[in-house]
Amino acid sequence: MSKLLEQLASDTPSLWVEVSPPRGINTESLLGRLAALRNAADAINLTDGAMAKVKLSGLVFAMMIKQRLGLPVALNFSCRDRNLLALKSDLLGAAAAGVDAVVALTGDKLAPGAHGEARSVHDVDVFGLLRVIGELNRGDTGEGKRPLKTLPALAMGAVANPNRANVERELELLARKAGCGAQFVITQPVFDVERAERFLDQAGAMGLQVVVGILPVKRAEMANYLKQQVRDLSEVGVHFDRYAGLSEAQARQLSIQHSLELMDALASRVAGFNIMSGGGPSLAIELALEFDRRRKHRHA
């Protein structure tokens, strides 16, 4: 079992921080910020072309994190942008670079006309990608030749949305992901205990370790955008109304307070938390450091 999976199976909830690679080639600023998490976070979750925006290669940035910070990395892999050959090559590259886990996902849709004539690839869907990861872990490259002598050891993850209106359909898809080899699932952000606990019961019955998404809100404008524009969160829009009319400082304080209350309430039930950087890495890091301080105090 990988170190990352051992952490998820422990009695103490793991703490992950989700960030996107930089937009350009200057990595020093973000690496400097993430250095604060060396003795606090258990892993960094790296996005892969989130929102269909061009970013530095997640695989390259994962290597930098491993080399500079020594933190485990769970690397998102999208079916959208690579054909099957490129997916397999990059997965082997991730294993060779010491990436600890791969999170299989479809990838956000490209907007019409985005990036010129760029088109989605989708040689495989998310279920096919999970099967490919499993095959590579067993040494099978799919070319009918001898198995790999040195086997990758990539932990296999998936994503799910507990906020979906048709949650039964979401659970059906999650069961298929588990059947294709997923070992853990990272959720879209949750904002209330009851919804999270219902999902935890169902996903746990599938044998999956659940890493619950936590999204701190930086300002009222961000809350309004999440409510109005993010379809995955349309069922929980009422949770963003609390930020209306607040200054940025007030919104940050309220969001950290609410996030900590939610994490404290779920800590005994989850495998881990994935703090998302939708409001920028500084807010996610601030929340992570405070939760880690509390976590260490409880287990002192």
- Ordered by start, the domain boundaries in the chain are 12-298
List, in order, residues 6 or more apart from 47 with CB less than 8 Å away: 18, 19, 20, 21, 55, 58, 76
> Which of helix, strand or coil describes residue 160?
strand
d(CA 21, CA 57): 7
Largest CA distance in the chain: 63
The distance in angstroms from the start CA to the end CA of the chain is 27
| Whether pLDDT at 29 is above 70 | yes
Classified as helix, coil or strand, 281 is: helix
Query: What is d(CA 283, CA 214) in angstroms, rounded to the nearest whole number?
Result: 12
Helix (H) or strand (E) holding 213, with range, is strand 209-214
Q: Check residue 274 and give its pLDDT.
A: 98
72-76, 141-145, 278-282: least confident range: 141-145
d(CA 92, CA 133): 9
DSSP 43: E
CA distance 192 to 200: 13
pLDDT at residue 111, rounded to an integer: 60
Report residue 227 as tokens. 């409510």
How many angstroms separate the CA atoms of 118 and 112, rounded? Answer: 9
pLDDT band of 51, cuts 50, 70, 90: low
| Count of Cβ atoms closer than 10 Å to residue 125 Cβ | 12
Q: For residue range 106-156, what is the model confidence (pLDDT) as tens digits?
A: 876 756 555 556 677 778 899 999 999 999 999 999 887 788 888 899 999
Query: Rounded mean pLDDT of 246-275?
Result: 96
- The 8-class DSSP code of residue 276 comes to E
Question: pTM to 2 decimals?
Answer: 0.93
Cβ 247 vs Cβ 224: under 8 Å: no
Structure tokens at 192: 């209330």
Specify the pLDDT at position 52.
64
**Tens-digit pLDDT profile for residues 211-241:** 999 999 999 999 999 999 888 888 898 999 9
pLDDT tops 80 at residue 12: yes
pLDDT (0 to 100) of residue 112? 58
Q: Give dist(CA 269, CA 7) in Å, integer.
A: 14
- Which burial class, exposed, middle or buried, applies to 206 when counting CB atoms under 10 A from its CB (0-12, 13-18, 19+)? middle
Structure tokens at 53: 């925006």
- Report, in angstroms and rounded to the nearest whole number, the Rg of the chain calculated over CA atoms: 19
CATH no. for 12-298: 3.20.20.220
Distance (Å, whole) CA 138 – CA 244: 52
- Of 55-59, 67-71, 276-280, the range with the lowest mean pLDDT is 276-280
